[in-house]
Amino acid sequence: MPALAARLKDVPPAASVVMTVKARELQAKGVKVISLAVGEPDFDTPAHAIEAAHQAALSGDTKYPPQDGTRALKEAVQRKFRRDNNLDYALDEIMVGNGGKQVLMDAMLAMLDPGDEVIIPSPYWISYADMARLAGGVPVTVTCPQNNGFKLRPEDLEAAITPKTRLLMLNFPSNPTGAACSRADMQAIADVMLRHPHVWIITDDMYEHLVYDDFEFCTVAEVEPRLKDRTLTVNGVSKTYAMTGWRVGFCGGPKELIKAMVNMQGQISSGISTVGQAAAAAALDGPQDLVKERAAIYKARRDMVVEMLNAAPGIACHKPEGAFYVFPNIAGCLGKTTAGGRRIDTDQDFALALIEEKHVAVVHGAAYGMSPYIRISYATDTESLREACTRIQDFCRALS
């Protein structure tokens, strides 16, 4: 067989996917695994969004879509940005993609030349660094320590910027930590970026509506309008409206950047599902009450998970402001041996032993750029979460 592309050696399978596959393999053998490895809402897609897709299909809206998105969805996105973020984008400054991930990949392909540096606050969503590499870029990670709430310190950002820096990647509320930036935090980041006009900014706001304890979300182009002409604001319907499988992401940004991204998308996949776009438009324009209702449920789950994890010997869990993840420190478990005889030297050892011995799937923190931590998603039903946390407590108590 001919050789595969060399670029693949730098892009391993995502750790969350690997753990999910392992959980499914155990489930297929009859093992009752509780998976906390995937960031996927356990709620249903809103009924009015499903009905909109149904009606679109019945009416014959099943032809090739525009590469940049249907006018109806782009107008809904335009209204969303105005309503939620105080951002005005013309229709030619908006693009729709196959989920937020394709929007991000289109953007990096449009922005980066070989050797360009991409600053990524760490811990980070696994795909950011891999996408940067695929686009020819060089990921430069900047540590966001737990003692700063896993948020990006402006002095650390300043120190990381070089003449080769082309892009800053922001994601607050964050995957994997749930950390979110206040307006003051975001303004401090913006002040640094104003001093470096050669750098693009992408902000992945996918968890925008999942914030708790009266925390107010903000996005960088809203906080500092002078950055709007070099900021790409990315969002989607998957997390807010429990529409992960519909694969609809969108963004707003400078016209010339959007034009270049549409060109990239045209070569990779062309436009996205017309019925999916109809569903997304209905979700964005429809009743928003369920968004707050579901956020309240996530908050209650967060509080329970943080409390139960902090009761587990060797674990210290920070309480995040948003998203549906916690990122507990497991340093107190290292150097010990499990009830099944496995030695725990790394967070990966912890995650593998936990699924094998207690049948709870989590993802090790090293996959997100920081050890010794694990990522836990609480986007699952409360009883399963309680049982999983009980198993984790038992696992930790049995370490010796």
Residues 102 and 235 in one domain: yes
Helical segments of the chain, H only:
15-28, 47-58, 71-85, 99-111, 126-134, 154-160, 183-194, 220-223, 255-268, 274-285, 289-310, 347-357, 382-397
Inside any domain, residue 1: no
Number of H helices and number of E strands within the chain? 13, 14
What residues contact 79, with CB distance under 8 A and at least 6 apart?
284, 285
Tell me which of 285, 319, 347 is where a domain ends: 285
pTM (2 d.p.): 0.95
- What is the reported pLDDT for 360? 96
Number of domains in the chain: 2
pLDDT by 10s per residue, the chain, length 400: 898 888 888 777 777 777 777 888 888 888 899 999 988 999 999 999 999 999 999 999 999 999 999 999 999 999 999 999 999 999 999 999 999 999 999 999 999 999 999 999 999 998 999 999 999 999 999 999 999 999 999 999 999 999 999 999 999 999 999 999 999 999 999 999 999 999 999 999 999 999 999 999 999 999 999 999 999 999 999 999 999 999 999 999 999 999 999 999 999 999 999 999 999 999 999 999 999 999 999 999 999 999 999 999 999 999 999 999 999 999 999 999 999 999 999 999 999 999 999 999 999 999 999 999 999 999 999 999 999 999 999 999 999 9
How open is the CA angle 79-80-84, to the nearest 5 degrees?
120
CA distance 104 to 206: 12
Residues 62 and 153 in one domain: yes
Residues 222 and 314 in one domain: no
Residue pair 107/135 in contact (Cβ under 8 Å)? The answer is no
State the CATH number of the domain containing residue 176: 3.40.640.10
Inside any domain, residue 310: yes
Inside any domain, residue 40: yes
Residues 280 and 316 in one domain: no
- What is the reported pLDDT for 23? 80
- What is the reported pLDDT for 80? 98
Inside any domain, residue 301: yes
Torsion 304-307-313-318 (CA) sign: positive
Tell me which of 253, 285, 317 is where a domain ends: 285
CA distance 315 to 119: 30
> What does the radius of gyration of the chain's CA atoms come to, in whole angstroms?
21
Domain residues for the domain of 31 are: 6-44+290-397
Instruction: Report whether the peptide linkage leading into residue 114 is cis, meaning its omega lies within 30 degrees of zero.
Output: no
- What is the reported pLDDT for 9? 80
State the CATH number of the domain containing residue 301: 3.90.1150.10
- β partners of residue 167: 118, 200
Inside any domain, residue 239: yes
Inside any domain, residue 338: yes
Residues 385 and 308 in one domain: yes
Tell me which of 285, 315, 330 is where a domain ends: 285
CA distance 149 to 265: 36
Residues 56 and 32 in one domain: no
Residues 11 and 147 in one domain: no
Residues 240 and 199 in one domain: yes
Residues 21 and 146 in one domain: no
Residues 33 and 143 in one domain: no
Residues 69 and 129 in one domain: yes
